[in-house]
């Protein structure tokens, strides 16, 4: 209950600081808040777009939660999301299932580059995953300008994917997959021996080693599962929302996953609620950009405020 209260306070702090920063630059804080509220939950259409944004955030949030629980610093969700989208597009001719499977495999493989570098060369994954993000962004840029460019050749974007996820009331089927993934992640982490080993490694790798757990294998496994979740997010975003790739396809979903997971205190089921909050924030910020000309970057700012507020309360708790 206390942890829930802390999460609510952190979320509220983000909203308040957002309105305050707007006021600093001469906007009325109340009108900003009302734009965010009506743009994210104020109508059926707004609610549907909030849900649509929450789906990739839920999956990248799960990706981060699994990795951080295992003590692996996967900051590479953005790159894994992109290669997931690329693989899903290429495999889309073989159907939805094959396309999403390819997205997960690609995400896992991309993340595993970082774990291989860590295990063989001791290169810190916190840096290699970030560097792989930049590499993936330019790989995507090359793809949509080169080999995967649309046949019309007019814009730097790909042709439409061969398949699309079915829709129910304005929201694509990916929401069901994402919800199932969070239940699966909870079951994996808290109800299986494999999950216990992952968490034990995250809590104390030395103790885990003494208990006979192969820490290197746990690291590789956590990274692969984490990458698969972020890759799946990219695949679902492609088949459910964008239907094609372009340079700004990832739109920060990978990095946002860090804030989503931390607000949920790395719990897979709490990640559902957390992704809904950030989905609303991102949607509301988009509306701010359209209606008031304010940069949608305020959503990123809000994510940072959430993380920093959580740290303050962690500290208060640790001191007692």
Q: Segment near another protein (CB under 8 A), from 125-133, 210-218, 220-228, 273-281?
A: 125-133
Q: How far is CA 25 from CA 28, 126, 205, 300, in A?
A: 9, 35, 48, 18
Q: How far is CA 125 from CA 26, 39, 116, 255, in A?
A: 42, 38, 9, 15
Residue 314 within binding range of another protein, rule CB under 8 A = yes
Residues ≥6 apart with Cβ < 8 Å to 223 = 67, 72, 74, 111, 112, 114, 115, 125
Residue 320 within binding range of another protein, rule CB under 8 A = no
CA distance 140 to 126: 22
CB-CB contact of 255 with 78 (8 Å): yes
- The CB-of-118 to another protein minimum distance in angstroms stands at 9
Q: How far is CA 257 from CA 62, 74, 223, in A?
A: 8, 11, 15
Residues ≥6 apart with Cβ < 8 Å to 144 = 156, 157, 158, 245, 246, 247
Binders of another protein: how many residues, by CB under 8 A?
46
Residue 95 within binding range of another protein, rule CB under 8 A = no
- The CB-of-130 to another protein minimum distance in angstroms stands at 5
Looking at 39, 49, 54, 73, which residue binds another protein (CB under 8 A)?
73
Nearer to another protein, 217 or 316 (CB): 316
CA distance 59 to 236: 10
Give me the 219-258 binding string for another protein, x by CB under 8 A, dash otherwise. Answer: ------------------------------------x--x
Looking at 1, 2, 25, 152, which residue binds another protein (CB under 8 A)?
25
Looking at 41, 48, 127, 213, which residue binds another protein (CB under 8 A)?
127
- Binding-site ranges for another protein (CB under 8 A): 21, 25, 73, 75, 117, 120-124, 126-128, 130-132, 134-135, 138-139, 141-142, 145-146, 255, 258-259, 262, 293-295, 297-305, 307-308, 311-312, 314-315
């Amino acid at each position: 209950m206390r942890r829930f209260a802390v999460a609510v306070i952190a979320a509220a702090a983000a909203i308040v600081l957002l309105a305050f920063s707007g006021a600093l630059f001469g906007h009325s804080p109340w009108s900003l808040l009302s734009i965010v509220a009506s743009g994210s939950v104020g109508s059926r259409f707004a609610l549907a777009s909030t849900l649509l944004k929450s789906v990739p955030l839920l999956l990248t949030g799960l990706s981060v939660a699994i990795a951080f629980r295992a003590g692996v610093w996967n900051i590479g969700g953005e790159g894994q999301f992109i290669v997931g989208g690329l693989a899903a597009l290429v495999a889309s001719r073989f159907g939805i299932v094959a396309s999403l499977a390819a997205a997960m495999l690609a995400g896992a493989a991309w993340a595993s580059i970082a774990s291989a570098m860590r295990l063989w060369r001791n290169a810190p994954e916190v840096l290699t995953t970030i560097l792989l993000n930049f590499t993936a962004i330019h790989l995507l840029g090359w793809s949509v300008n080169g080999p995967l460019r649309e046949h019309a050749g007019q814009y730097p974007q790909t042709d439409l994917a061969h398949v699309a996820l079915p829709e129910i009331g304005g929201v694509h089927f990916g929401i069901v997959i994402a919800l199932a993934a969070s239940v699966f992640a909870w079951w994996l982490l808290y109800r299986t021996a494999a999950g216990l080993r992952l968490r034990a490694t995250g809590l104390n790798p030395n103790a885990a080693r003494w208990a006979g757990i192969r820490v290197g294998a746990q690291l590789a496994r956590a990274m692969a599962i984490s990458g698969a979740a972020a890759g799946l997010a990219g695949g679902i975003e492609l088949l459910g929302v964008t239907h094609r790739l372009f340079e700004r396809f990832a739109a920060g979903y990978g990095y946002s996953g860090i804030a989503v997971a931390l607000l949920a205190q790395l719990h897979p089921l709490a990640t559902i609620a957390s992704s809904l909050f950030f989905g609303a924030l991102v949607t509301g910020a988009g509306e701010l950009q359209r209606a008031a000309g304010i940069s949608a970057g305020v959503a990123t700012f809000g994510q940072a405020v959430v993380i920093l507020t959580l740290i303050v309360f962690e500290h208060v708790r640790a001191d007692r």
